[in-house]
Amino acid sequence: MERTGTYWQTQEELTYGSMVAWRNNARCIGRINWQMLQVRDMRYLSTAQDIFMAIVEHIRLATNSGKIRSMITIFAPQRPGHPGIRIWNPQIIRYAGYRQANGTIIGDPLHTKLTEVLYKLGWRGAQGGAFDLLPIVIQMPNRPPELFELPRDCVLEVALSHPDFSWFIELGIKWHALPVISNMRLEIGGISYTAAPFNGWYMGTEIGARNLGDINRYNLLPLIAKMMGLDTRSDRTLWKDRALVELNRAVLHSFALAGVTIIDHHTAARQFIHHEKREQQAGRKLYADWSWIVPPMSGSTTPVFHIPYENRQVTPNFFYQDDPWL
């Protein structure tokens, strides 16, 4: 510490620290699984190319043909007084968003800014479709960013069909199986790991309510309501609510059909209640951010809605970092 102002953590500290960081994050509803985390120590990798290869291997190992394994890959920590390694992508697997000249957007509107930044770096979208995979951008400390294309065969995607509506599959909607957050800073014992991508599995509402349902995302509710023959002229018909439920049923149905791990928001909420009891038995206080823990649909039908959680940030934990391209 006196000589370098920092210290090198053991693999045990890294492993247990990552699990506790997950257990401490107040916004995560999936924390019952906190002791089931595979931790890959990749702190010795020193080139963007090697880091990219480790990311591809993470996707393959975590996807596990659909039986998803919670995993984190930890790259070298930030040195005091220097910027740390950064992965510019918010998630490893994300779709491009192309803003057209006439203002319409093809793809994911959430990523129009990142897609523009990538165009400035010379990247060009494959076929300008609604589900073009973004390249991975890795920036080593004090170096320019480097771009890498993900191999298509390592990205498992699920085409959406519906248990009752045979027309649903014709809409050509799909989503990727693995959520891998890659832009957060993992802090353990005062050490910052600015590149530590981690994955779990999806809760269905993330895809069915937010990613595909939000107006400023894929905004699919009007289309689904029309296909269902609902009267969309008045809010009072609750056409949005009925389309939302069917879109979420399609997500859960399709992932199960494809053998890809996913959890519904009722089961996730019930497990979270059980997790809180186990934490109390372990003598630990559980902190939770109610506005993130309560699912984005049917909130009051889940038990977490009726509990006034206390929110607090403790470390070890995962924190936001500024977007590196700003």
Ligand X SMILES: N/C(=N/c1cccc(CO[C@@H]2CCNC2)c1)c1cccs1
Q: Count other Cβ atoms within 10 Å, centred on residue 248.
A: 22
Of positions 20, 181, 223, 227, contacts ligand X by CB under 6 A: 181
Rule CB under 6 A: is residue 93 a binding residue for ligand HEM?
no
Nearest distance in Å: CB 242, ligand X: 25
Stretch 135-174 residues interacting with ligand X (CB under 6 A): none
Judge whether 139 and 146 are in contact, CB under 8 Å: yes
- From the list 157, 206, 214, 241, which residue makes contact with ligand X (rule: CB under 6 A)? 206
Q: Which amino acid is at 38?
A: Q
Q: Name the binder of 22 from ligand HEM, ligand X, none, CB < 5-8 A by kind.
A: ligand HEM
For 34-43, b/e burial (b = at least 16 CB within 10 A) is beebebbebb
Residues 132-161 that bind ligand HEM (CB under 6 A): none
Cα-atom radius of gyration of the chain, to the nearest Å?
21
Q: Does 200 bind ligand HEM (CB under 6 A)?
A: yes
Q: Which two tokens stand for residue 38?
A: 């595979």
Q: How far is CA 100 from the centre of its chain?
A: 26
Task: Please report how close the Cβ of residue 224 comes to ligand HEM at its closest, in angstroms.
Answer: 21
Q: What minimum distance in Å lies between the beta carbon of 110 and ligand X?
A: 8
Q: Residue 231 corresponds to which amino acid?
A: D
Q: How many residues does the chain have?
A: 326
Q: Which of 125, 179, 204, 208 binds ligand X (CB under 6 A)?
A: 179
Q: Is the peptide bond before 90 cis (omega within 30 degrees of 0)?
A: no
Q: 């353990």: which residue's tokens?
A: 188
Binding segment for ligand HEM (CB under 6 A), chosen from 3-11, 98-106, 198-206, 236-244, is 198-206
On whether the CB atoms of residues 230 and 98 are closer than 8 A, the answer is no
Catalytically active residues are 28, 31, 201, 206
First to last CA, the chain: 32
Q: How far is the CB of 122 from ligand X (least distance, A)?
A: 27
Q: What tokens were used for 62?
A: 């975590």
Pick one of ligand X, ligand HEM, none as the site partner of residue 64 (Cβ within 5 to 8 A by kind).
none
Output the smallest distance, CB 168 to ligand HEM, in A.
Answer: 24
3-class secondary-structure state, position 300? helix
CB of 206 to ligand HEM, least distance (A): 5
**Binding map of ligand X across residues 43-82, x = CB under 6 A, - = no contact:** ----------------------------------------
**Alpha carbon distance 309, 253 (integer Å):** 32
Task: Note whether 211 binds ligand X by CB under 6 A.
Answer: no
Give the separation between CA 11 and CA 315, rounded to whole angstroms: 18
Task: Please check whether residue 317 is in contact with residue 25, taking contact to mean a CB–CB distance below 8 angstroms.
Answer: yes
From the list ligand HEM, ligand X, none, partner contacted by residue 208 (C-beta under 5 to 8 A by kind): none
**Which stretches of the chain bind ligand X, using CB under 6 A?**
30, 179, 181, 198-200, 202-203, 206
**Which stretches of the chain bind ligand HEM, using CB under 6 A?**
22, 25, 27-30, 33, 37, 70, 72, 198, 200-201, 203, 206, 263, 268, 292, 318
